[in-house]
Structure 1
Amino acid sequence: MTPIFLFFLLSSIFTVNAQQGQSIVKPGSILTPTTNSSWLSPSGLYAFGFYKQGNGYAVGVFLAGIPQNTVVWTANRDNPPVSTKVTLNFTSDGRLVLQSAQGAETSVANFSSASSASMLDTGNFVVYNSDKQSIWESFQNPTDTLLPTQQLLPNDSVVLKSSVSESNQSTGRFRAVMQQDGYVALYPVGTNLTLEYGYWSTSSGVPSGNLNLDDQGFLYVTNSVFNLTVSPSRNSTKGTVLYRLRMEDDGFLRLYSYNLQEQNGSWSIIWSPLNETGVNICFPRGLCGVNAFCDPGGNDINCTCLPGFVFIDESKRTSGCERNSTTENCNEKGMNTTMEEVSGIIWENLTYNRSVLLTKQDCNDACWQDCSCEAALFKDEICGKQKLPLRFVNIKIPTDPKATSAFIKVRTSTPSSDGNVTKKKGSEILIIGVSLVVFAFIVLAISGIAIYRSRIFANKKILNTRNIALSDEDVGPRSFTYIELEKITNGFKEELGRGSFGIVYKGTIENGQKIVAVKRLERLLVDREREFQTEMKVIGRTYHKNLIRLLGYCHDGPNRLLVYEYMCNGSLADVLFEPEKKPSWDERMGIACNIARGIFYLHEECIEKIIHCDIKPQNILMDENRCAKISDFGLAKLLKPDQSKISTGIRGTRGYVAPEWHRLKCPVTVKVDVYSFGIVLLEIISCRRCVDSNLPEEEAILEEWSYRCFECGELGKLVNDEEVDMRQLERMVKVALWCILYDPSLRPSMKKILLMLEGTADIPIPPNRSTVSQYDQGFEENE
């Protein structure tokens, strides 16, 4: 039996099935993943329905008439695979939905009131109304594939987007666009259609043209006047060879052919931009993910991490890189920071600060001294600083005169303090000296033990004569001894958490009737006794329902501990970033207002104005009613000053630190808390962290993504299309964007913020970020 006879035999069988109702689909038809799983085209070559993906199933169009089950279109491609208990239902009211066993529905395509549907032999799934007119087609909503007779119109919203991989049809990183000027061009997903991001296009334009693929494998752009060949035409017998154009996960188009007359045939590449002279596989920006670049050379993708970074997934190097060390605070103890230059590197221009500097060394130093700066670009005496992640990284040829110098901040553990050993001289004197030192230490140790034992005996007598309790008549925080706090916490046994100031332990007082949180402070000034006690009195006199109450403190010898009321629901971070604990929209808005009220009290209503300096979700605790209370206020001035050049005098946590901390001679005011509150407000709105490298690259930095969504009128993306009051959402986002302006004088006060959050004050449109960036640059120059 010849292959061509076999093909026509299969076609006749599939045609019989089509005549039995398989090709014309009527409302009331149902598919399941395991039985009656698809609707076939008349010849049986194409099918619409369930196909296997990962551990579940997806819905789409695929080639069923060849051994290779090739997917050419996918519905809801970014949704997770479904289970075998799901049904695909063409409802009686003309909708196409996925229906779970519990009855929940997910729309497969955007249409309603359909009267019929058909899977055509072209690979197009078409839906018709009662007048037999097409109301929806898969050809008009492509994913990653263009089939013969299908057109890609000059429409920026209808493009070919790559899949994650051959087996995962979720949206990948790259797209092919048919532009209005007639160019077929390739760009990373989430970027502007500009030369900065484009990495390949056709050689000449056909204005307002369409991209066409005919049934003989001829790819061309045409309009009523012009005609541009994109790929070489094929000389094949019509109907015996299949063609498809696919946008691949490496960022390039490939035109494939499949010969139906060959037994056990396979898809062959007949054209790709990579075949053209001068096109390199490393051209696509962001090919290797965040914080990584593609090292040019050869036909393989060779991803390399930036200095100080390691691969997120060593088995999949295109997934990007992350820091090889984690640091939460700007002045993290035990870390050494250096700068490393990489020649000829560029990435997406999301600099938060630009300044005129004469030399590369000046730019290097400016980034080194700035806690928020993770990398800097220097070109033509302009130094641009940027935070993480570094997206769409690319490498130019270092000898290119347009190449840019890049400086990457590298963090390593502080090397051992052992220095170079001096040459051995006078060994006898050294032995005698060491012996004397050891003898002195022994004497001191014996004396210390004797003193310690006497103090323990005295404290035990005190503890035996009284219960540890707090009097309702106390007007300020009570002073505890270290021995008392050891007893309260059962020897510091149960750890509740760790923060920027130290470790928190669970304890009980009043004979176990009252639970407290005991924080052992670290990195504090132990030699400034009077200042510590003064601050404790100030903190103890601050009382507000949205501030954690300080019940007591310990200043026993070198020990510094604080005793707070216990919060049973942990921190805002515990509630906000765990999906199962996610508060409702109304709860989140209440939390935001409560935090604002607490900061407003610290800034304007307490006896002495307090700048918190470290507003973040981890420092906002939740009581039994999920009422937000701010902790760790008033402690910033007690921190040890870091003598290193990288972060002298800087307080706060990376991601929440206001830019003015890093400006010379710029006074730090209450507006640093306003900036941090703005970042936290965006986190509350979207229930995600301010920087998350696990998200798509264009969404990784929350403040940048929020402004992009605001400008494009797509605020629903910030709440993942959650059902919320859109007017309230817009108001909250506008408040947050005002708070995070780089110029502190432009940020509103907490009083104004509270009025805007409560809806009693109008909120102007936040300034354009590019305008603010220019203003910020002028502000620094005027200093």
Structure 2
Amino acid sequence: MIPSPSNVTLHFTSEGRLRLQTQAQQKEIVNSASASSASMLDSGNFVLYNSDGDMVWQSFDLPTDTLLLDTETYAYYATNTGGVGDNVTLHLDGGGHLYLVNTNGFNIVNITDGGYDNENLYLLRIDPDGIFKLYSHDLGQNGSWSILWRSSNDKCAPKGLCGVNGFCVVLDDRRGCECLPGFDFVVASNWSLGCIRNFQEEICKSKDGSTKFTMSTLENTWWEDASYSALSLSTQEDCEQACLEDCNCEAALFEDGSCKKQRLPLRFGRRSLSDSNILFVKVGSPEVSRQGSKKELRTNILVISVSLASFTLIILAISGVLIHRKNLLAYKKISETGNVGLTEDVALRSFTYMELEKVTNCFKEEIGKGASGTVYKGAISNGQRIVAVKKQEKVLAEWQREFQNELKVLGRTHHRNLVRLLGYCLDGRNRLLVYEYMSNGSLADLLFTPAKQPCWVERVRIALNVAKGVLYLHEECETQIIHCDIKPQNILMDEYRCAKISDFGLAKLLMHDQTNTFTGIRGTRGYVAPEWHRKLAVTVKADVYSYGIVLLETICCRRNVDWSLPEEEAILEEWVYHCLEAGELGKLVGDEEVDKRQLERMVKVGLWCILDEPSLRPSMNKVLLILEGTVDIPVPPSPGSFLSSI
């Protein structure tokens, strides 16, 4: 549809051109040399014909929000059939009769009785309020439109009006939206974007086992049933306590002895006085919040005043001495206790430094280099197996922690989409790790080198393999792991170009009852989730964000920010969303032949993964199901629409 001013005129020329024209300018809509005549059909469709009477162009293929007389469209209606059965079309006749017809031409459902005045004009439309309405227009001189029928009298019946974690209410016959207790609108002027928490997420339980949350109640509401656990409990107090003690439970719905535990986000909420249920929502404890804020304020004042007034000169004078002593103590501690702690946690082969020096031919062939060390090519098992040996260049405390972290993480994991750690060396000051050799380099080498770029089928396989690796870390390990640095440079390719995740130096291991953690910012710019910068609790959804960026890069074979491109294409996520919105996804892959439905599915899941609000991002299990085509996915909101919540 092309928005046009009231003074525009439509011109159809003898050359087959269709133009919109004003006094100041003109816009060409169609240029078809074979077009010789035009017609406005009763359906509202404007069409062009050639000299043989064949249609060569039409203003729309299918109706959108409006149905006129003798127009048909495919219908999807709430009959609990799940779409099983014959294709069904929706029809409207001259008497205002609205009905459904199957492929055999039989009337299977009467939606309206019809029998209205045949002299009137009728149309069926989905109005902006989401309600389906049948209108009648008197063709007399002072005729006007009137509503004969509507699909629902409940203004909150259309789903999704208030976005996730919001619910629809009607006050004085006016519809509005409200947020769950403890939540605020993402954008106050746009309810459809939903609501996010207005308190800082904490680790579920304190060290003493006490919870840091309270439960808030909300009565007489209806929500989509997406419960992960249903309990039979006699009282609402039992239901409230069951959710409070479950770190995975973020809300619970109690009705008639049934307690259904829910995870956020909650969807399709509306006020329903006929429902006697009670919704319990987990919110931050007011006492903890007040005590924390007062303590934080006092601490900040003290630190600032003391720093500025008392210790500035002293810190400058002794900082060098303290740093030197710290490094000496750290190395001493590493030498005395480092080996014991590591060997208790892992079951890998231990190498001596002399063995690895021989394996790598005195560290002759360098195949990679990073901030904490250099990687060399070597061979073990009498030269029968090629390996990669990572040598830590300096024994700094920070890099020592990364070394121990990587050893602990990879020592307890085994998956075909994770790089396998074969052994390690803790010999005096020497710290080395021995990995399986990945002969095809990193995903970054493939994607960002034009001559090496993989085909579409291979890129889809890579995306699936990386998703399986991240899913294993999040849900299938004995200890849940947040990788914290998913990026193309840390995804390596073996001889069969099977993608494997590497570099676990920044990974974070969670306890069995822990769902989030507070830690200093980790990862690489461009792939780091927004919650890192806001010093919020970090969950596995941080890895989902990084995976979303990598997925979009894999689709388009380009970096997420590239200022050598035109300004509108420089930032990948913005350009991808624009192409999705404009129906121009083909631009993302150029002339390459791809499965268009698969492309659209991958783009949508990538955009869902990089939403600013962590609770809106899908889990990696959901991501994998969508990529495999098992689960449908709706159109995501614009990533930029959530920036105002930062």
The alignment's TM-score, normalised by the length of structure 2, stands at 0.48
- Which is greater in Rg? 1
